[in-house]
Amino acid sequence: MRIDVLTLFPEMFASPLSESILKRAQQAGVVGIVLANIRDFSKDKHKKVDDRPYGGGPGMVMMPGPVFDCFEHVRSLSAEPGRVILLSPQGQPFDQRKAVELSKEKRLILITGRYEGFDERIRIGLAAEQISIGDYILSGGELAAMVVIDAVVRLLGGALGDEDSSKDDSFSEGLLEYPHYTRPEVFRDMKVPDVLLSGNHGEIEKWRRSQALERTKQTRPDLLKDNPPEDQ
Ligand code: 4HQ
Protein backbone atom coordinates (compact mmCIF):
# COMPACT_ATOMS: atom_id res chain seq x y z
CA MET A 1 0.00 0.00 0.00
CA ARG A 2 1.02 3.59 -0.61
CA ILE A 3 -0.21 6.32 1.74
CA ASP A 4 0.27 9.99 0.87
CA VAL A 5 -0.39 12.59 3.54
CA LEU A 6 -0.97 16.27 2.77
CA THR A 7 -0.28 18.35 5.87
CA LEU A 8 0.98 21.69 7.16
CA PHE A 9 2.95 19.83 9.88
CA PRO A 10 4.84 16.90 8.35
CA GLU A 11 7.19 16.79 11.34
CA MET A 12 4.33 15.72 13.60
CA PHE A 13 4.39 12.34 11.82
CA ALA A 14 8.06 11.56 12.44
CA SER A 15 7.88 9.77 15.77
CA PRO A 16 4.65 7.72 15.31
CA LEU A 17 5.89 6.50 11.91
CA SER A 18 9.34 5.57 13.18
CA GLU A 19 8.39 3.15 15.97
CA SER A 20 7.11 -0.39 16.27
CA ILE A 21 4.67 -1.77 13.69
CA LEU A 22 4.60 1.32 11.47
CA LYS A 23 8.37 1.37 11.33
CA ARG A 24 8.64 -2.34 10.53
CA ALA A 25 5.86 -2.23 7.93
CA GLN A 26 7.73 0.51 6.06
CA GLN A 27 11.08 -1.29 6.37
CA ALA A 28 9.49 -4.48 5.01
CA GLY A 29 7.97 -2.59 2.06
CA VAL A 30 4.43 -3.46 3.18
CA VAL A 31 3.59 0.25 3.08
CA GLY A 32 5.25 3.39 1.77
CA ILE A 33 4.21 6.61 3.50
CA VAL A 34 4.91 9.90 1.71
CA LEU A 35 4.45 13.28 3.40
CA ALA A 36 3.78 16.47 1.44
CA ASN A 37 3.81 19.95 2.96
CA ILE A 38 0.81 21.99 1.76
CA ARG A 39 2.70 25.20 2.60
CA ASP A 40 5.28 24.39 -0.10
CA PHE A 41 2.49 25.00 -2.62
CA SER A 42 1.50 28.46 -1.41
CA LYS A 43 2.00 31.10 -4.09
CA ASP A 44 1.93 33.89 -1.53
CA LYS A 45 5.16 35.67 -0.61
CA HIS A 46 4.36 35.00 3.07
CA LYS A 47 3.50 31.34 2.35
CA LYS A 48 -0.07 31.96 3.44
CA VAL A 49 -2.42 28.95 3.25
CA ASP A 50 -5.50 30.27 5.11
CA ASP A 51 -7.86 33.20 4.76
CA ARG A 52 -10.95 34.72 6.40
CA PRO A 53 -14.33 33.05 5.86
CA TYR A 54 -16.75 34.60 3.36
CA GLY A 55 -19.87 35.61 5.26
CA GLY A 56 -17.85 36.49 8.33
CA GLY A 57 -17.43 34.66 11.59
CA PRO A 58 -14.51 33.49 13.70
CA GLY A 59 -11.41 31.65 12.60
CA MET A 60 -9.69 31.03 9.31
CA VAL A 61 -10.32 28.64 6.44
CA MET A 62 -7.80 26.57 4.42
CA MET A 63 -7.49 28.13 0.97
CA PRO A 64 -8.24 25.82 -1.96
CA GLY A 65 -5.24 26.82 -4.14
CA PRO A 66 -2.34 25.36 -2.11
CA VAL A 67 -4.28 22.17 -1.28
CA PHE A 68 -5.23 21.60 -4.95
CA ASP A 69 -1.67 22.24 -6.15
CA CYS A 70 -0.21 19.98 -3.46
CA PHE A 71 -2.79 17.28 -4.29
CA GLU A 72 -2.09 17.41 -8.03
CA HIS A 73 1.63 17.13 -7.41
CA VAL A 74 1.20 14.20 -5.02
CA ARG A 75 -1.25 12.34 -7.25
CA SER A 76 1.19 12.55 -10.17
CA LEU A 77 3.82 10.69 -8.13
CA SER A 78 2.04 7.38 -8.78
CA ALA A 79 -0.33 6.03 -11.46
CA GLU A 80 -2.71 4.55 -8.86
CA PRO A 81 -5.49 7.14 -8.29
CA GLY A 82 -6.11 6.06 -4.69
CA ARG A 83 -8.90 6.86 -2.29
CA VAL A 84 -8.95 10.52 -1.27
CA ILE A 85 -9.83 11.17 2.37
CA LEU A 86 -10.26 14.43 4.28
CA LEU A 87 -9.97 14.13 8.05
CA SER A 88 -12.86 16.07 9.51
CA PRO A 89 -15.39 15.96 12.36
CA GLN A 90 -18.02 16.18 9.57
CA GLY A 91 -16.93 12.80 8.20
CA GLN A 92 -18.21 9.25 8.46
CA PRO A 93 -17.19 7.66 11.75
CA PHE A 94 -13.90 5.76 11.62
CA ASP A 95 -14.23 2.31 13.12
CA GLN A 96 -12.66 -1.15 12.73
CA ARG A 97 -14.95 -1.92 9.79
CA LYS A 98 -13.70 1.19 7.97
CA ALA A 99 -10.09 0.29 8.86
CA VAL A 100 -10.55 -3.17 7.30
CA GLU A 101 -12.17 -1.59 4.22
CA LEU A 102 -9.30 0.88 3.76
CA SER A 103 -6.69 -1.84 4.32
CA LYS A 104 -7.83 -3.41 1.02
CA GLU A 105 -6.91 -0.32 -1.04
CA LYS A 106 -3.68 0.06 -3.02
CA ARG A 107 -3.36 3.77 -2.23
CA LEU A 108 -4.78 6.27 0.26
CA ILE A 109 -4.36 10.04 -0.02
CA LEU A 110 -5.06 11.63 3.37
CA ILE A 111 -5.59 15.39 3.56
CA THR A 112 -5.27 17.04 6.96
CA GLY A 113 -6.29 20.57 7.81
CA ARG A 114 -5.80 23.23 10.46
CA TYR A 115 -7.92 26.25 11.46
CA GLU A 116 -11.75 26.05 11.22
CA GLY A 117 -11.55 23.67 8.28
CA PHE A 118 -11.31 23.43 4.50
CA ASP A 119 -12.85 25.62 1.83
CA GLU A 120 -15.76 23.42 0.70
CA ARG A 121 -14.44 23.36 -2.88
CA ILE A 122 -11.54 21.19 -1.71
CA ARG A 123 -13.93 18.36 -0.77
CA ILE A 124 -16.03 18.78 -3.90
CA GLY A 125 -13.20 19.37 -6.40
CA LEU A 126 -11.05 16.49 -5.15
CA ALA A 127 -14.05 14.13 -4.81
CA ALA A 128 -12.85 13.42 -1.29
CA GLU A 129 -14.68 11.34 1.26
CA GLN A 130 -14.57 12.66 4.81
CA ILE A 131 -13.67 10.55 7.82
CA SER A 132 -13.97 11.50 11.50
CA ILE A 133 -12.09 9.67 14.23
CA GLY A 134 -14.64 10.75 16.84
CA ASP A 135 -17.01 13.37 18.12
CA TYR A 136 -14.53 15.87 19.52
CA ILE A 137 -12.54 18.73 18.03
CA LEU A 138 -8.81 18.36 17.50
CA SER A 139 -6.54 21.30 16.76
CA GLY A 140 -5.72 19.74 13.39
CA GLY A 141 -6.28 16.65 11.28
CA GLU A 142 -2.74 15.27 11.73
CA LEU A 143 -3.45 13.16 14.81
CA ALA A 144 -6.60 11.85 13.13
CA ALA A 145 -4.56 10.84 10.06
CA MET A 146 -2.06 9.05 12.30
CA VAL A 147 -4.89 7.14 13.97
CA VAL A 148 -6.18 6.03 10.56
CA ILE A 149 -2.68 5.08 9.35
CA ASP A 150 -1.96 3.08 12.50
CA ALA A 151 -5.26 1.18 12.47
CA VAL A 152 -4.99 0.40 8.73
CA VAL A 153 -1.31 -0.52 8.48
CA ARG A 154 -1.41 -3.02 11.35
CA LEU A 155 -3.99 -4.99 9.34
CA LEU A 156 -1.78 -5.32 6.25
CA GLY A 157 -0.36 -8.76 5.55
CA GLY A 158 3.14 -9.02 6.95
CA ALA A 159 2.87 -5.86 9.06
CA LEU A 160 1.94 -7.60 12.29
CA GLY A 161 4.25 -9.84 14.29
CA ASP A 162 1.51 -12.39 14.66
CA GLU A 163 -0.98 -12.48 11.75
CA ASP A 164 -3.60 -14.12 13.97
CA SER A 165 -3.55 -11.53 16.68
CA SER A 166 -5.64 -8.98 14.74
CA LYS A 167 -8.45 -11.57 14.44
CA ASP A 168 -8.69 -11.63 18.22
CA ASP A 169 -8.86 -7.84 18.61
CA SER A 170 -11.72 -6.02 20.23
CA PHE A 171 -14.33 -5.24 17.55
CA SER A 172 -13.12 -7.85 15.07
CA GLU A 173 -15.94 -9.98 16.45
CA GLY A 174 -18.03 -6.96 17.39
CA LEU A 175 -17.28 -7.36 21.10
CA LEU A 176 -14.81 -5.91 23.56
CA GLU A 177 -11.89 -8.17 24.36
CA TYR A 178 -11.74 -10.65 27.23
CA PRO A 179 -9.30 -9.92 30.10
CA HIS A 180 -5.67 -10.92 29.63
CA TYR A 181 -3.22 -12.24 32.24
CA THR A 182 0.46 -13.11 32.20
CA ARG A 183 3.01 -14.12 34.87
CA PRO A 184 3.16 -14.01 37.83
CA GLU A 185 0.23 -16.19 38.94
CA VAL A 186 -0.31 -13.98 41.99
CA PHE A 187 0.43 -10.25 41.88
CA ARG A 188 -0.29 -8.03 44.93
CA ASP A 189 -2.81 -10.60 46.22
CA MET A 190 -4.63 -10.71 42.86
CA LYS A 191 -4.76 -14.21 41.38
CA VAL A 192 -5.02 -15.28 37.77
CA PRO A 193 -8.47 -16.93 37.28
CA ASP A 194 -8.17 -20.71 37.81
CA VAL A 195 -9.75 -21.56 34.46
CA LEU A 196 -6.78 -19.99 32.62
CA LEU A 197 -4.39 -22.32 34.48
CA SER A 198 -6.57 -25.40 33.93
CA GLY A 199 -5.27 -26.34 30.48
CA ASN A 200 -8.91 -26.99 29.47
CA HIS A 201 -9.12 -25.10 26.17
CA GLY A 202 -12.86 -25.59 25.80
CA GLU A 203 -13.51 -24.07 29.23
CA ILE A 204 -11.02 -21.25 28.57
CA GLU A 205 -12.80 -20.39 25.30
CA LYS A 206 -16.21 -20.39 27.07
CA TRP A 207 -14.89 -18.18 29.90
CA ARG A 208 -13.36 -15.68 27.47
CA ARG A 209 -16.60 -15.46 25.45
CA SER A 210 -18.69 -14.81 28.54
CA GLN A 211 -16.22 -12.23 29.86
CA ALA A 212 -16.20 -10.44 26.49
CA LEU A 213 -19.99 -10.42 26.38
CA GLU A 214 -20.30 -9.19 29.99
CA ARG A 215 -17.80 -6.35 29.43
CA THR A 216 -19.56 -5.32 26.28
CA LYS A 217 -22.98 -5.26 28.03
CA GLN A 218 -21.55 -3.17 30.87
CA THR A 219 -19.46 -0.64 28.91
CA ARG A 220 -20.59 -0.67 25.27
CA PRO A 221 -24.15 -2.03 24.98
CA ASP A 222 -24.40 -0.13 21.66
CA LEU A 223 -22.04 -2.74 20.14
CA LEU A 224 -24.57 -5.51 20.76
CA LYS A 225 -27.20 -3.87 18.52
CA ASP A 226 -26.94 -5.74 15.17
CA ASN A 227 -23.65 -4.43 13.77
CA PRO A 228 -22.19 -7.63 12.32
CA PRO A 229 -18.45 -6.97 11.85
CA GLU A 230 -17.17 -7.34 8.29
CA ASP A 231 -14.91 -10.29 7.44
CA GLN A 232 -11.19 -9.72 7.76
N1 4HQ B 1 -10.31 18.02 13.13
N2 4HQ B 1 -11.69 13.50 13.18
C3 4HQ B 1 -10.41 20.45 12.69
C4 4HQ B 1 -10.90 16.99 13.87
C5 4HQ B 1 -11.06 15.62 13.33
C6 4HQ B 1 -11.81 14.59 13.95
C7 4HQ B 1 -9.67 17.84 11.83
C8 4HQ B 1 -10.26 19.35 13.70
C9 4HQ B 1 -9.87 18.98 10.87
C10 4HQ B 1 -9.74 21.36 10.56
N11 4HQ B 1 -10.54 15.09 12.23
N12 4HQ B 1 -9.63 20.26 11.52
N13 4HQ B 1 -12.51 14.65 15.07
O14 4HQ B 1 -11.34 17.22 14.97
O15 4HQ B 1 -10.93 13.82 12.13
Q: Give tens-digit pLDDT for 29-68.
A: 999 999 999 999 999 999 999 999 999 999 999 999 999 9
| pLDDT average, residue stretch 92-114 | 98
Question: Does 161 or 157 have the greater pLDDT score?
Answer: 157
pLDDT value for 169 = 77
pLDDT value for 227 = 62
Of 19, 116, 163, 205, which residue is the catalytic one? 116
pLDDT in tens, 65-76: 999 999 999 999
Does 134 contact ligand 1 (Cβ within 6 A)?
Answer: yes
Residue 2 backbone phi and psi in degrees, to 5: -115, 135
Of 44, 169, 185, 203, which residue is the catalytic one? 169
Question: Does 194 or 115 have the greater pLDDT score?
Answer: 194
pLDDT value for 173 = 81
With a pLDDT cut of 90, the percent of the chain lying above it is: 89
Alpha helices (H) along 55-103 = 64-75, 96-103
pLDDT over threshold 90, residue 232 = no
193 is catalytic: no
**Among 24, 37, 34, 25, which Cα is nearest to 2's?**
34
158 pLDDT band, cuts 50/70/90, is confident
Question: Does 166 or 17 have the greater pLDDT score?
Answer: 17
Cβ 192 vs Cβ 181: under 8 Å: yes
Does 140 contact ligand 1 (Cβ within 6 A)?
Answer: yes
Q: What is the DSSP string of 181-207?
A: --S-SEETTEEPPHHHHS--HHHHHHH
Q: How far apart are CA 6 and CA 36, in angstroms?
A: 5
171 pLDDT band, cuts 50/70/90, is confident
Average pLDDT for the chain: 94
pLDDT value for 167 = 67
Within 10 A of 164 (CB to CB), how many other CB atoms are there?
Answer: 7
In the reported structure, the alpha carbon of residue 181 is separated from the centroid of ligand 1 by a whole-number distance in angstroms of 36
pLDDT over threshold 80, residue 168 = no
The closest-lying atom of ligand 1 relative to the alpha carbon of residue 137 is: 14
- pTM as predicted: 0.95
Of 16, 53, 89, 229, which residue is the catalytic one? 89
Cβ 196 vs Cβ 204: under 8 Å: yes
Q: Mutate which of 137, 139, 143 to test ligand 1's pocket (most atoms within 8 Å of Cβ)? A: 137
In the reported structure, the alpha carbon of residue 130 is separated from the centroid of ligand 1 by a whole-number distance in angstroms of 10
The closest-lying atom of ligand 1 relative to the alpha carbon of residue 135 is: 13
Q: Mutate which of 62, 88, 146 to test ligand 1's pocket (most atoms within 8 Å of Cβ)? A: 88
